[in-house]
Chains A and B, each alone.
Chain A
Amino acid sequence: MAHYSVIGRRTPRTDAPEIVTGEAKYTVDIVLPGMLRGRILRSPLPHARIAAIHAEKAGAVRGVLAVITGADTLKQKYGYRASNYDEYGLAVGKVRYVGEQVAAVAAVDEDAAEEALSLIEVEYEELPAVFSPEEAMREGAPVIHDEAPNNVSYAPRFHWGNVEEGFAASDCVREDTFVTQAQIHCSMEPHAAVAEFAGGRLTLWSTTQGPYALRKDLALTIGLAEGNIRVIKPRMGGGFGGKREMFASDFCAALLAMKTGRPVKIVYSRTEEFIASRQRHPMVITIRTGYAKDGTLRAKDCTVIADGGAYNSRGPGILSYAGASLASLYRIPHVRYAGYHVYTNNPVGGAFRGYGSLQVRFADESQMDLIAEELGMDPLDVRLKNVVESGDTTASGKKITSCGIKECLLKVAEESGWHQKRRKKQYGRGIGIACNDYVSALRSLYEYDSSSALVRPNEDGTVDFFTGASDIGQGSDTTLAQIVAEELGVLLEKINVVAADTRMGVMDLGSYASRVTFVAGNAAKKAAADARQQLFQHLARRWSVPQEKISCREGAISVRGRDDLFLSFAEAIAQLLRKEGVFVVGRGYYDAPSEMVDYRTGYGNSSPAYSYGAQVAEVEVDMKTGQVKVLQVVAASDCGRAINPMALEGQAEGAIVCGLGMALAEDRLSEGGRTMNPTFLEYKVPTSGEAPVIRSYPIETIDPEGPFGAKGVCEGFQVPTAPAVANALFDATGIRFTELPITSEVVWRALKSRKGGGDAS
Chain B
Amino acid sequence: MHLKPFAYHRPLSLAGLWDIMDKAPSGGFILLGGGTDVLPRMGQRLLAPAALIGLKNIAELKVIEREGDDVFIGAASALQHVRESELVSRLFPALAQAAARVGSPQLRHMGTIGGNLCLDTRCLYYNQRQGPGAFPRCYKKGGDRCHVVKGGKRCYALFSADTPAALLALDARVCIGGAAGKREAPLNEFYRDDGIRSRDIGEKEIVLGIKIPGKPVRVSAYLRFSTRAAIDFPLAGLAVSVEKSRSGAFVNPRVAATGICSRPLRLAGLETLLAGRDVRREITEEEWGDALKELRPVRHQGISPAYRKYLFGVLMQRARARLVP
Residues of chain A touching chain B, judged by Cβ–Cβ distance below 8 Å, are 41-45, 98-99, 110-111, 114, 118, 269, 271, 275, 624-625, 627, 665, 667, 669, 674, 676-682, 684, 686-690, 743-745, 748-749, 758-759
Scoring A45, A111, A627, A745 by chain B CB atoms within 10 A of each residue's CB, the highest score goes to A745
Contact B232 A674 (CB under 8 A): no
What residues of chain B lie closer than 8 Å to A111, measured between beta carbons? 2, 4-5
Determine whether B272 belongs to the interface, using a CB cutoff of 8 Å to chain A: no
What residues of chain B lie closer than 8 Å to A744, measured between beta carbons? 227
Determine whether B128 belongs to the interface, using a CB cutoff of 8 Å to chain A: yes
Which label, helix, strand, loop or mixed, suits the secondary structure of the B interface?
loop
Contact B133 A44 (CB under 8 A): yes
Given A758-B289, A758-B310, answer yes or no on A681-B231 (Cβ-Cβ < 8 Å): yes
Residue of A nearest to B43 (CB): A269
List the 8 closest A-B pairs by CB distance, nearest first: A689-B229, A44-B133, A44-B131, A759-B285, A44-B134, A110-B2, A676-B124, A745-B307
CB of B160, distance to nearest CB on chain A (Å):
11
What residues of chain A lie closer than 8 Å to B228, measured between beta carbons? 665, 684, 686-687, 689-690
CA separation between A624 and B310, bound complex, in Å?
9
Residue of B nearest to A686 (CB): B228
**CB < 8 Å A-B pair total:** 87
Contact A624 B134 (CB under 8 A): no
Given A745-B304, A748-B310, answer yes or no on A44-B124 (Cβ-Cβ < 8 Å): no
What residues of chain B lie closer than 8 Å to A269, measured between beta carbons? 1, 129
Interface size class of B (residues with CB under 8 A): 35 or more
Determine whether B59 belongs to the interface, using a CB cutoff of 8 Å to chain A: no
Determine whether B25 belongs to the interface, using a CB cutoff of 8 Å to chain A: no
Could you list 12 A-B pairs, sorted by A, with CB under 8 Å?
A44-B132, A44-B133, A269-B1, A271-B128, A625-B314, A665-B227, A669-B124, A669-B302, A677-B128, A677-B302, A684-B228, A758-B310
CA separation between A570 and B228, bound complex, in Å?
54
Contact B132 A745 (CB under 8 A): no
CA separation between A269 and B44, bound complex, in Å?
10
CB of B37, distance to nearest CB on chain A (Å):
10
Determine whether B311 belongs to the interface, using a CB cutoff of 8 Å to chain A: yes
Query: B130: which of A41, A627, A674 is its contact (CB, 8 Å)?
Result: A674
| Interface residue ranges of B207-245 to A (CB < 8 Å) | 225, 227-233
CA separation between A44 and B133, bound complex, in Å?
6
CA separation between A110 and B5, bound complex, in Å?
11
Query: B311: which of A625, A678, A679, A684 is its contact (CB, 8 Å)?
Result: A625
CA separation between A748 and B314, bound complex, in Å?
12
What residues of chain A lie closer than 8 Å to B180, measured between beta carbons? none
CB of B107, distance to nearest CB on chain A (Å):
11
CA separation between A681 and B230, bound complex, in Å?
10
What residues of chain A lie closer than 8 Å to B233, measured between beta carbons? 681
Residue of B nearest to A672 (CB): B135
CB of B131, distance to nearest CB on chain A (Å):
4
| Interface residue ranges of B294-325 to A (CB < 8 Å) | 301-304, 307, 310-311, 314, 317
CB of A349, distance to nearest CB on chain B (Å):
21
Given A682-B301, A758-B289, A758-B310, answer yes or no on A687-B131 (Cβ-Cβ < 8 Å): no
What residues of chain A lie closer than 8 Å to B225, measured between beta carbons? 625, 627
CB of A466, distance to nearest CB on chain B (Å):
37
What residues of chain A lie closer than 8 Å to B125, measured between beta carbons? 676
Residue of A nearest to B315 (CB): A625
Contact A43 B124 (CB under 8 A): no
Given A110-B2, A669-B124, answer yes or no on A43-B231 (Cβ-Cβ < 8 Å): no
Contact B130 A271 (CB under 8 A): yes
CA separation between A758 and B4, bound complex, in Å?
50
Scoring B1, B289, B302, B303 by chain A CB atoms within 10 A of each residue's CB, the highest score goes to B302
What residues of chain A lie closer than 8 Å to B231, measured between beta carbons? 680-681, 687
What residues of chain A lie closer than 8 Å to B227, measured between beta carbons? 665, 684, 743-744
Scoring B2, B4, B125 by chain A CB atoms within 10 A of each residue's CB, the highest score goes to B2
What residues of chain B lie closer than 8 Å to A114, measured between beta carbons? 2
Contact B230 A676 (CB under 8 A): no
CA separation between A681 and B122, bound complex, in Å?
12
What residues of chain A lie closer than 8 Å to B314, measured between beta carbons? 624-625
CA separation between A431 and B160, bound complex, in Å?
35
Contact B131 A43 (CB under 8 A): yes
CB of A619, distance to nearest CB on chain B (Å):
16
CA separation between A758 and B314, bound complex, in Å?
11
CA separation between A564 and B232, bound complex, in Å?
69
What residues of chain A lie closer than 8 Å to B229, measured between beta carbons? 687, 689-690
What residues of chain B lie closer than 8 Å to A271, measured between beta carbons? 128-130
Given A681-B232, A759-B285, answer yes or no on A42-B131 (Cβ-Cβ < 8 Å): yes
Given A625-B314, A669-B302, A677-B302, answer yes or no on A682-B285 (Cβ-Cβ < 8 Å): no
What residues of chain B lie closer than 8 Å to A748, measured between beta carbons? 307, 310
What residues of chain B lie closer than 8 Å to A680, measured between beta carbons? 231
Contact A41 B131 (CB under 8 A): yes
CB of B279, distance to nearest CB on chain A (Å):
20
What residues of chain B lie closer than 8 Å to A690, measured between beta carbons? 228-229
What residues of chain A lie closer than 8 Å to B304, measured between beta carbons? 745
What residues of chain B lie closer than 8 Å to A45, measured between beta carbons? 133
CB of B236, distance to nearest CB on chain A (Å):
9
Residue of B nearest to A109 (CB): B2
Query: B135: which of A110, A674, A681 is its contact (CB, 8 Å)?
Result: A674
Contact A682 B124 (CB under 8 A): yes
What residues of chain B lie closer than 8 Å to A758, measured between beta carbons? 285, 289, 310
Contact A674 B134 (CB under 8 A): yes
CA separation between A42 and B133, bound complex, in Å?
11
CB of B114, distance to nearest CB on chain A (Å):
21
Residue of B nearest to A37 (CB): B2
CB of A19, distance to nearest CB on chain B (Å):
19
Contact B310 A687 (CB under 8 A): no
CA separation between A678 and B130, bound complex, in Å?
9
Given A111-B5, A745-B303, A748-B310, answer yes or no on A687-B133 (Cβ-Cβ < 8 Å): no
Given A98-B134, A748-B307, answer yes or no on A678-B128 (Cβ-Cβ < 8 Å): yes
CA separation between A111 and B4, bound complex, in Å?
7
What residues of chain A lie closer than 8 Å to B131, measured between beta carbons? 41-44, 98-99
CA separation between A549 and B289, bound complex, in Å?
85
What residues of chain A lie closer than 8 Å to B133, measured between beta carbons? 44-45
